[in-house]
Amino acid sequence: MLILGLDPGLGSTGWGIIRAEGNRLAHIGNGQIRTEPGMALARRLALLHGALVEMIRAHRPDSAAVEEVLGNSNPQSTLKLGQARGVVLLAAAQAELVVGEYHPSIVKKAVVGTGGADKAQIQAMVARLLPGVRLAGADAADALAVAITHAHHLASARALLRRAS
């Protein structure tokens, strides 16, 4: 199963794709989609959408996972992040992907073991879980962490179903 992880952002949206076969994970690809701060908001969202659509077409993932938005002290920044997240969800829905959504603390706990992990710890664990990965940046590492979290949750759900039957 190919899983697409997404870390939404207006300036930089991270993406990462892994292959999950049982408990084994393999890195397929990762990157960051960037938009220029000086551009009109509508244009930035359109560019983000177009790049996501192309990336999804190129890799054909089976499932997607998106990090939830944390509010911050700047309402305008939170709103723009929410708009970028909406575009990310739209692109996944248009590709008919079932989308898992995960709070950042759940992702950190699943990958690092503690919900308070920092970016360096996430990057180190992603590199350990996906040997040989070359990270395109912190947002790509976060996206891979979201994909890893989704893979763990899917594996747990399958195991529970097998036990119940």
Q: How far apart are CA 138 and CA 126, in angstroms?
A: 11
Specify the number of domains making up the chain.
1
For 140, the domain range is 2-164
List, by residue number, the catalytic residues. Answer: 7, 67, 139
pLDDT (tens digit, 9 = 90+) per residue, 87-99? 999 999 999 999 9
Which residue did the predictor score with more confidence, 22 or 62? 62
pLDDT at 69 over 90: no
Is 62 part of any known ligand binding site? no
Average pLDDT value for the chain: 93
Banded model confidence at residue 73, pLDDT cuts 50, 70, 90: confident
Return the HEC string of 88-141.
HHHHHHHCCCCEEEECHHHHHHHHCCCCCCCHHHHHHHHHHHCCCCCCCCHHHH
Question: Distance between CA 163 and CA 165 in Å, rounded?
Answer: 6
Q: Is the Cα dihedral 101, 41, 96, 2 positive or negative?
A: negative
Q: What is the pLDDT of residue 74?
A: 84
Residue 153 — pLDDT band, cuts 50, 70, 90? confident
pLDDT at 41: 97
pLDDT at 161: 66
For the whole model, what pTM was predicted? 0.93
- Binned at pLDDT 50, 70 and 90, residue 155 comes out as confident
- Per residue in 111-130, pLDDT (tens digit) is 999 888 999 999 999 999 99
**Is 7 annotated for ligand binding?**
yes
Name the helix (H) or strand (E) containing 160. helix 138-164
Confidence of residue 163 (pLDDT cuts 50, 70, 90): confident
CATH of the domain at 121: 3.30.420.10
Is 142 annotated to bind a ligand? Reply is no
